[in-house]
Structure 1
Amino acid sequence: MNTRREFIKRATVLGAGAFLSADLLAMKRNISSNDKIGLGVIGCRGQGWSNLNALLKVPEVECVALCDIDENVLSKRKEELSKLNIKPRIYSDYRKMLADKDVDIVVVATPDHWHCLQLIDACSAGKDVFCEKPVANSIYEAQLMNKAVQRYGRVVQVAQWQRSQQHFNDAIAFVHSGKLGKISAAKAWMYRTGTQPLPVVPNSPVPAGVNYDMWLGPARKRPFNKNHFHYEFRWFWDYAGGLMTDWGVHLIDMVLLGMKAGIPKSVMATGGKYVFPNDARETPDIQTALYDFGDFQMSWEHNMATGVGLYGMQHGIAFIGENGTLLLSRAGWEVRPDRDKIEAVPWTKASDNGLQKHAANFIDVVKSRKKEDLNCPFEAGAKVAIVSHFGNIAVRTGEKIYWNEAQNKFNVEKATQLVKPIYHNGWKLPVV
């Protein structure tokens, strides 16, 4: 292994959560201090940890700081890193971490309601950012963040890592080739097998070591409840948008990319708590949204009752053309012709590690400053987040909603009220 290129090629076959190899540790020791890129991570428990491991496989990257509101998480991560002789500074307040001059790049992997403040603060502090999806918990925040990224000129990669996987790129290239003929419809779906009800539990004391006020941040004040904390936060509107913004941003992003689509003209949706009507979740466990883009329509479906989804696929994307249908998922892709109008493309399996390639692409651009080379620039992440929020707003209001881009509002007032969040606890929406 003589070059960085050879290392990256080898590293992409490793799991994103795997620890560093002896080869990589040796290579890191030989990197000049002038070439090292200091990494700080905000939110270290779940996806933040996966992102950290992926970025550490790039030889130049050195973890210099960790930040989390849970001392238990920080202690565990610190111990795991110390076994590799990695000794980052520890922070409980992300603002103090952003003041650390050794931090060059930042991972934002906190609950969705925190992304706006943390990304804008990171950009204004001169840091480049690897931001978890969805980029924001509201339309307005995504727009505001987009302005900030442009204003501060930072490199921001959104962690929609499917854009870095070869089979996704091959499938989208086929869509763009025109071989499917006119595409009038597209579908995206996620059928979440194995989901269990989230039992209703009473509020409880804040766990030892957790700064709950900091976890809430701009969300409204409410007593601690373990159902709202860590992974389960995604089922409550104050913090996230359910499966629509969890999986939807990944899959709908491929539709927007394939169709070269902008913002839809209108959306209507149905959904509710049909699978677990009495559990603790707020977001729908079954939801269907229909988007009108003017020259094609797209449907989104999610279902938490079964893993038997459309076309026999648990999750996926379908581009339905006059000559055939292209089916795409994280597992692979194929083309099913309509009456032999085109040749079939047999199922082609995924063969690479999207997150690792995504991390490597981010660091390449951090070094080159050629932001046009980002596989998922912030504008793309913002657009799909906004489209996903359209679907949630439609189901929450029960209305068919039309978007007025010039006025930045919907035709229905109660839908427009969900465009911009209200910040609480002394936190303010940034001014860009």
Structure 2
Amino acid sequence: MTSKRKFNRRDFIQATSAATATGFFMGTSAVSRGQDSPNERPVFATIGLRNQGWTITSKSTKFADFAAFADLDETVLGENLAKLKERTGQTADGYADYRKVLDRDDIDAVMIAAPDHWHTKISVEAMLAGKDVYCEKPLTLTIDEGKLIEKVVKQTGRVFQVGTMQRTECDHRFLKAIALIRDGRIGEIRKVTCGINGATGSPVIPAIDVPKGLDWDTWLGPAPKVPYRALPEMREGYGGGVPLYTNCHYAWRNWYEYSGGQMNDWGAHHVDIATWALGADATGPNKVTPVSFSLPVDYKDGYPTVSDQYNSPTKFEIHANMPGDIPLVITSEGDNGILFEGTKGRFFVNRGKLTGKPVEDLETNPLPEGAVEAVYGGPVSENHTANWIAAMNSREQPISDVWSHNRMLETCHLANIAIRLGRELKWDPTKREIIGDDQANAFLSRESRKGFEISM
């Protein structure tokens, strides 16, 4: 299945020119070995192994062979190489530098589970190196990063799956929810509410010595250079053995420098399903309003005034005005999941349940045959990786493509910008820019730290 050709900067520019001149682009490899022999197992590598990195790897060993792992923490790298050996009997190579993975011609595709602030750089460089990509959600740290990824997917022809696995897994209840809406079971949608949980702030977290085996400077990568911070209390679960309060490990999700808090974490799941159900995954809102919110530290001009505490929102209620003037409410209150309300009824869905009268009515009035498959666009894959590999074989984009993901994630990014600035934002979904607010538009991109720019 290996596509050996790599895209360097000259190839990229030539392809861009050709695409502009002809109006389309044919990928770097129109036919791969996987298309010649659908039963051949692809060769994968995983970049970023802690927690979700191992989760997506372990789910994928049924369908693919893993030739390499990359992680900046030598302990995590060693532990996961051992787990792979125990699980599959395979021995993979381990690297601290992910670029050594991208240099290998025997690797068809990469699975990326590094922290969010690394997603765009690794993803773009992987595609330019001729690899298909699976990247964990949320895909980007900024809206402009999403535009860049879309551009490179189009220009390289790589197949790119985003890890919004609710589109495929969770007993397909989210697909059934959308099928209910499409079959008119709640009439016209009047309101959608996404409950995505609140968060907590942190105590003051002191700067301490970097743990042995962790390359902290490279972990920071494109983000600003800051000290490593942690308190002694340890976190249960999530791989264990990591500080509860830190600016690294699991807790990086609570810092805007590396992620987008709950808005981009759970929001990337539930806002995705809500946007899909609304038929708005090729557009987005025209206005985002921060009705209420709480930040754990003081802010000035959209930036935290201290650097030793978590800085993403702890509570919030955001209203996004979707096409048809349908309100999409994103809230930290209530049950985690999605409430759909229409002119004929309402129902609630999350990873554990699908409830409401329209759901109860299915006992006597089931959905038409093939309704769920119609939402999915064909036979439903057994898991997210299987869908990605099928797309790799067909050279078509998978169920969680970058375009629909980025459109959904723009709502989450805009919500965070609105919270940081404390005001409503008007959004042009065609130009993909904030209307009449230069300060807010400055948050659509970020400057990478010198030495960690994207290699084009």
TM-score (norm 1): 0.81
Going from structure 1 to structure 2, the CA distance change for 1:406 and 1:223 (only over 3 Å counts) comes to: same
Question: 2:396 maps to which residue?
Answer: 370
1:167 aligns with 2:197: no
Letter aligned with residue 412 of structure 2: S
Question: 2:293 maps to which residue?
Answer: 271
Residues in 2 aligned to 1:167 and 1:430: alpha-carbon distance in whole angstroms: 40
1:228 aligns with 2:257: no
1:402 aligns with 2:426: yes
TM alignment of 1:211-290, pairs within 5 A: 211-226=215-230, 227-261=246-280, 262-269=283-290, 270-273=292-295, 280-290=309-319
Question: 1:351 maps to which residue?
Answer: none
Unaligned runs of 5+ in 2: 1-36, 231-245, 300-305, 367-379
CA contact (8 A) 1:38 1:102 kept: yes
Residues in 2 aligned to 1:410 and 1:93: alpha-carbon distance in whole angstroms: 41
Letter aligned with residue 70 of structure 1: D
Going from structure 1 to structure 2, the CA distance change for 1:55 and 1:355 (only over 3 Å counts) comes to: farther
1:139 aligns with 2:143: yes
Letter aligned with residue 388 of structure 1: C
Count of aligned pairs: 375
CA contact (8 A) 2:425 2:434 kept: no
Residue of 146, 153, 157 corresponding to 1:153: 157
Residues in 1 aligned to 2:84 and 2:381: alpha-carbon distance in whole angstroms: 20
Task: State percent identity of aligned pairs.
Answer: 31
Residues in 2 aligned to 1:68 and 1:410: alpha-carbon distance in whole angstroms: 40
CA contact (8 A) 1:235 1:281 kept: yes
Aligned with 2:316: secondary structure?
strand
The Cα shift of 1:407 comes to: 6.8
CA contact (8 A) 1:219 1:425 kept: no
Going from structure 1 to structure 2, the CA distance change for 1:196 and 1:263 (only over 3 Å counts) comes to: closer
Going from structure 1 to structure 2, the CA distance change for 1:186 and 1:155 (only over 3 Å counts) comes to: same
Question: 2:352 maps to which residue?
Answer: 331
The Cα shift of 1:399 comes to: 1.1
Going from structure 1 to structure 2, the CA distance change for 1:248 and 1:202 (only over 3 Å counts) comes to: same
Provide the alpha-carbon RMSD of the alignment. 2.6
Going from structure 1 to structure 2, the CA distance change for 1:183 and 1:122 (only over 3 Å counts) comes to: same
Aligned with 1:228: secondary structure?
coil
Question: 1:320 maps to which residue?
Answer: 341
Residues in 2 aligned to 1:186 and 1:100: alpha-carbon distance in whole angstroms: 46
Residue of 53, 62, 76 corresponding to 2:58: 53
Question: 1:302 maps to which residue?
Answer: 332
Residues in 2 aligned to 1:158 and 1:132: alpha-carbon distance in whole angstroms: 6
Question: 1:78 maps to which residue?
Answer: 81
Residues in 1 aligned to 2:39 and 2:192: alpha-carbon distance in whole angstroms: 48
Residues in 1 aligned to 2:424 and 2:200: alpha-carbon distance in whole angstroms: 31
Letter aligned with residue 389 of structure 1: H
Question: 1:187 maps to which residue?
Answer: 193
Going from structure 1 to structure 2, the CA distance change for 1:240 and 1:370 (only over 3 Å counts) comes to: same
Deviation per CA, 1:15-68: give whole Å up to 9, x if none. Answer: xxxxxxxxxxxxxxxxx999231111000011111000111122xx10100000
TM alignment of 1:18-29, pairs within 5 A: none
Question: 1:6 maps to which residue?
Answer: none
Unaligned runs of 5+ in 1: 1-31, 304-308, 349-353
TM alignment of 1:65-144, pairs within 5 A: 65-83=68-86, 84-144=88-148
CA contact (8 A) 2:287 2:424 kept: yes
Residues in 2 aligned to 1:329 and 1:263: alpha-carbon distance in whole angstroms: 22
Letter aligned with residue 116 of structure 1: T
Residue of 394, 411, 425 corresponding to 1:387: 411
Aligned with 1:365: secondary structure?
helix
TM-score (norm 2): 0.77
CA contact (8 A) 1:401 1:411 kept: no
CA contact (8 A) 1:137 1:239 kept: yes
The Cα shift of 1:417 comes to: 1.1
The Cα shift of 1:400 comes to: 0.7
Aligned with 2:206: secondary structure?
coil
Going from structure 1 to structure 2, the CA distance change for 1:410 and 1:113 (only over 3 Å counts) comes to: farther
Letter aligned with residue 293 of structure 2: G
Going from structure 1 to structure 2, the CA distance change for 1:274 and 1:325 (only over 3 Å counts) comes to: farther
Going from structure 1 to structure 2, the CA distance change for 1:36 and 1:397 (only over 3 Å counts) comes to: same
Residues in 2 aligned to 1:271 and 1:319: alpha-carbon distance in whole angstroms: 23
Question: 1:293 maps to which residue?
Answer: 322
Residues in 1 aligned to 2:432 and 2:338: alpha-carbon distance in whole angstroms: 32
Residues in 2 aligned to 1:55 and 1:126: alpha-carbon distance in whole angstroms: 20
